[in-house]
Structure 1
Amino acid sequence: MGYSCASMMRPITRILAVFAVFSLVVQPAAAQSVLRDAETEALLEDMAAPLAEAAGLEDVDIVLINDPSINAFVAGGQRIYIHSGLLNAAEDAGEVQGVIAHELGHITGGHVLRHSEGASTAGNITILSLLLGLAAAAAGAGEAGMGIIAAGQQAAMGNYLSFSRVQESSADAAGVEYLSKAGISGRGSLKFFGRLLNQEFRYYRNQSDEAEFYRTHPLSGDRISRLEADYRADPAWDVPTDPALQARFVRAKAKLYGFLAKPQDTFRAYPDSDGSVPARYARAYAYHKDARTPDSLREVDALLAAEPDDPFFLELKGQVLLETGQPDAALAPLRRATELTGAQPLIASMFGHALIATEDAEHFAEAERVLKASVARDRLNPFAWYQLGQIYAAQGDIPRARLASAEQQAMRQQWPEALTSAQAAQAGLDTGTPDWIRAQDIEYQARDALKRARDRR
């Protein structure tokens, strides 16, 4: 009895799926949206700073991803991606710091770079079993050939997952070291692993040895058992979470929830009877999302009555006014927030947007100054480049308007458009000037990206 083409394609399809998994493991979250917020980014940076120092690293970036799952990962370089769902699930700043310490272990261990080792070995096993299986099928032993192919896939996946679990265990051990050096208790880390374990039981995930074979991470119960002794033996075990850091975390968590959740869910989680700062913060965003502007401003004004010089409350008031068609009223709180934060780029870019939105040409010079300062400190802000391009265009400076377009198009990986804009900018700029050189850099970057895309076809 022979096999039809359709039946032979099933295992081959599964093999291709295995290779797809290998490629997806190291892909950055390009398809997911990045959440940018000045207050939250400052908090995450302060959370990570002592741990990065303990790990001997500088310039570690923490990027917040809009994803409700409880996860964090690294994807190359010194950048840690944290899902919004993780912040929502955590109750203590120490839990998040435990996750950051673990991810730093992946960075110092070079695990993303070494990923190809595990994938290559697994790929070789898969290819060898495929060739042997096809040879057996061609010799008339079709059933044996299918068995060889299936066993090869199983062995390849097992080899890769085992490699991944070793890396995870290594990162766990590094996390213990970094928390200890930073004087941060491992209680938060254990609490987070306990949360993962509860989630696994909630969804009936098998905790048996057989189940571990199919996992990229060690079983949460085993991780807790291995780590608890080390954490308890550490002098920092009884050190409480920094109260100021915890207060900032609770506040940022509420802010994030109000921004992302459905308004009715926010009102249930933070009812009107709760007059705390986090509750008012969350409700202010929820009311704004629900187009209840007076209610949103009432909450913000209550926050400002207690802390009139809090730059993030001022930023929120300016945002609500700006996004409800009141740019002139938004200028005062946004200008003050910009001053208080030393022109923090995200806040400054919103202030620049408000200046432009007034449609008053007298504000354009200030808008240009504010936006140029913003992109000088944070070039990865396409919205700021868009606003700056508007100013240049309004002033008749078309070459720099095209350069601003090229900047935002390159960030969005719109390479054909970025190439066209960069070339147009160079044509109108003086050769050798910083702006001309930058336009040339974007042109080369776009050409290289387009060439690599053509080569992959």
Structure 2
Amino acid sequence: MRHLLRTLFALLISFAVLTRPVTAQSILRDAETEALLADMSKPLIEAAGLQPKNVEIVMIADNSINAFVAGGQIVYIHSGLITQAENANMVQGVIAHELGHVTGGHIVRMAEGMKTATGIMLLSLLLGAAAMAAGAGEAGAGLLSMGQQAALGKFLAFSRVQESSADAAGVTYLNKAGVSGQGLVAFFKKLQNQEYRYGYNSKDAYDRTHPLSRERVTTLVDALQSAPSWNAKSDPAIEARFARVKAKLKGYVLDPPLVMQQYPETDQTVPARYARAYAWHRGAYPEKAMQEVDALLRTAPRDPYFLELKGQVLLESGKPKEALPALREAVQLTGYNPLITSMFGHALIATEDRANFAEAEQVLRSAIAKDNQNPFAWYQLGVVYDRKGDAARAALATAERYNLQGNPQLAFANARVAMAGIPRGSADWVRAQDIFMVSEPEIKKRKKNREEPQQ
């Protein structure tokens, strides 16, 4: 019976992992990339009947070609989707599909599929156990095996229905927004090529969570080709920005030698220089990185993202004071973008000039006011408070950082220190109390989870 219960538990866990563990993955943040994704997705979000300000497109560090939703109005895309996409239109097609999951409430409805499958599994468990108790061991084992297969099959069928529903919704949003569906079809053809390579195309569709790509391509082409937007041209400005973002991402995530192969020095285009600048910087060749950055700035002296990169190279090469002018201008040109502003605050602190600390505190608080989900900005603000001798608010900033990073134990400890030193009832004290109260039950929950397998 213990073996049977373990089998049931394993099946339930297999259902649970289908909801991606976002917090366990690394989120990549870049001001230019986020601005592009927001502009690319805006017409699709509006076509889906959602508010662009309420929908986030978040990039995950994963080199596979994929995207997913995990609750709320957030679409997660893998970095591999960007680096391997042929154009911006392909990414737009994927976003349209994922918005179909959002509007369909598929993550919430996942519980329905799990409930039905679990019911089948429990029934087979009871019938199998009864048969075994009556002396029909083989019949009982057969009932258990059949029940497990039926439960899994039921859940996978439920998942495929959701995927097909998201496909249909994505088609609607693309057509309504006037965005060509050729990118979405190209994406699934790329997946289809992978299925051929790894032999998945020979497998039956019913043992999968998604329909086979060959089936999806046929269905999508039929639905999209007749739409007026099928032959719509992608916005040249968007495509040019996408080429830049794709190149800089490759420069950041790929090994430098591979970047140099894909973007040799004979290639003097902006995307190629962008990629090489990041690759040289990551490879610890700051002089070569600066040569590429300076060449980029000669083509566009007031490009905020080129200025941001110049400041980053100087800052991370141990020259924070020299980085300040470029970062200050980048901050101003982007209307105080919080990611660039937090880097500027970091540079001000890194000068070790106490005269810069007041400005550092000001700009970091400005960055957090716009985006309080940035652990790096909270860390830098904590450094400023520590240098000022304000240990309580340094602890509060540290608690905020650990809370965002999913470390309730350290968030709890620092929130307690903050509450002890901040005037009771003030806004900062209330915030520290919030973190304290949220972290405590999470600590107990994790402790219980650690102890249970030992019982």
TM-score by length of 1: 0.95
1:250 is displaced (CA, Å) by 1.1
Hey, what does 1:93 align to over in structure 2? 88
Amino acid at match of 1:309: R
1:338 is displaced (CA, Å) by 0.8
Unaligned 5+ runs, structure 1: none
Q: Distance in 2 between matches of 1:440 and 1:207?
A: 56
Q: Is 1:132 matched with 2:127?
A: yes
Question: 1:222-255 CA deviation, whole Å, 9 max, x = no partner?
Answer: 1111111221111111111111111111110111
Q: Which piece of structure 1 moves more, 128-137 or 311-320?
A: 128-137
1:455 is displaced (CA, Å) by 5.9
Hey, what does 1:283 align to over in structure 2? 276
Q: Distance in 2 between matches of 1:86 and 1:27?
A: 16
Secondary structure of the equivalent of 1:221?
Answer: helix
After TM superposition, list the pairs within 5 Å mapping 1:33-48 onto structure 2: 33-48=26-41
Q: 1:180 aligns with which of 162, 172, 175?
A: 175
Q: 1:161 aligns with which of 156, 162, 180?
A: 156
Hey, what does 2:405 align to over in structure 1? 412
Q: Is 1:200 matched with 2:198?
A: no
TM-score by length of 2: 0.95
CA contact (8 A) 1:207 1:219 kept: no
CA contact (8 A) 2:38 2:57 kept: yes
After TM superposition, list the pairs within 5 Å mapping 1:52-91 onto structure 2: 52-58=45-51, 59-91=54-86
1:141 is displaced (CA, Å) by 2.1
Which segments of structure 1 move beyond 4 Å, counting only runs of 4 or more?
A: 11-14, 454-457
Q: 1:339 aligns with which of 311, 329, 332?
A: 332
Q: Distance in 2 between matches of 1:95 and 1:271?
A: 25
Q: Distance in 1 between matches of 2:264 and 2:399?
A: 46
Hey, what does 2:250 align to over in structure 1? 257
Amino acid at match of 2:62: D
Q: Which piece of structure 1 moves more, 111-120 or 407-416?
A: 407-416
Amino acid at match of 1:125: I
> How many pairs were matched up?
448
Secondary structure of the equivalent of 1:26?
Answer: coil
Hey, what does 1:115 align to over in structure 2? 110
Q: Distance in 2 between matches of 1:138 and 1:420?
A: 53
1:54 is displaced (CA, Å) by 0.7
After TM superposition, list the pairs within 5 Å mapping 1:226-375 onto structure 2: 226-375=219-368
Identity %: 56
1:14 is displaced (CA, Å) by 4.5
Q: Distance in 1 between matches of 2:238 and 2:42?
A: 12
Question: 1:300-348 CA deviation, whole Å, 9 max, x = no partner?
Answer: 1100110111111111111111111111111111111111111111101
1:197 is displaced (CA, Å) by 0.6
Q: Distance in 1 between matches of 2:247 and 2:111?
A: 39
Amino acid at match of 2:373: L
CA contact (8 A) 2:23 2:406 kept: no
Q: Distance in 2 between matches of 1:81 and 1:302?
A: 34
CA RMSD of aligned residues (A): 1.5
Q: Distance in 2 between matches of 1:454 and 1:266?
A: 44
Question: 1:368-417 CA deviation, whole Å, 9 max, x = no partner?
Answer: 11111011111011111111111111111122111111110111122122
1:146 is displaced (CA, Å) by 1.6
Amino acid at match of 2:74: R
Question: 1:1-55 CA deviation, whole Å, 9 max, x = no partner?
Answer: xxxx9xx83x665443321111112243111100011111111111111111111
Q: 2:165 aligns with which of 147, 153, 170?
A: 170
CA contact (8 A) 2:128 2:139 kept: yes
Q: Distance in 2 between matches of 1:225 and 1:12?
A: 42
1:442 is displaced (CA, Å) by 1.4
Q: Distance in 2 between matches of 1:30 and 1:198?
A: 30
Q: Distance in 2 between matches of 1:17 and 1:448?
A: 26
Hey, what does 2:22 align to over in structure 1? 29
Amino acid at match of 1:104: L
